[in-house]
Amino acid sequence: MTERDEQFHSFVLEKRAGLVRTATLLTAGDGHLAEDLVQATLTKLYVAWPAFRRADNPDGYLRRTLVNALTDEKRRWWRRHERPVAELPDRPHAASTDPDDRTDGLRAALGELPPKMRAALVFRYFYDLDVADTADALGCSEGTVKSQTARALDRLRAVMNLPLTGVIR
């Protein structure tokens, strides 16, 4: 194993669980898509490993790569041409671990948001990034982050039936 491979292996062991958590939030709870995004992100990072190692902000580079993987996934031809069916195949029903289903409600509400709005909320409120770091991760201006965050919060309040001055600000 080369030194590069050892470095990358250590990096994956350290960061993969956090990447899966972030990807799960970005996909509004779709664990399968989250795993796919993490794999795509890690593949891109391995290919660009020297550039990643030289990055001034490796965490920002990592977040940006993950968001780009999500954007690429949403643009895939077959995703745009999926056909809905009247009845879903039989699937096991997972029991909720949250007694009042707030987590499921939040995931469902996040699922109602477009990917960029969802990413703005995840980075701003779940990972407590400031506006500048969120803008860097999303590849947009700080004003766009502010407007997307405000609109996303308004939509979440409406979907979750929260008052305007509720928990989410």
Q: Which pair of tokens denotes residue 51? A: 């550039």
Once rounded to an integer, what is the mean pLDDT over residues 64-91?
Answer: 71
Q: What is the mean pLDDT of residues 12-29?
A: 92
User: Comparing 9-13, 35-39, 81-85, which segment has the lowest mean pLDDT?
Assistant: 81-85
Predicted model pTM: 0.65
pLDDT of 76 above 60: yes
Mean pLDDT in residue range 121-142: 89
Report residue 95's pLDDT band, with 50, 70 and 90 as the boundaries: very low
Q: At what angle do helices 58-75 and 131-138 cross, to 10 degrees?
A: 50
CATH architecture group of domain 1-77: Orthogonal Bundle (1.10)
Q: What is the mean pLDDT of the segment spanning 69-85? A: 68
Q: Where are the domains of the chain?
A: 1-77, 101-169
Cα separation, 126 vs 56, in Å, equals 23
CATH of domain 101-169: 1.10.10.10
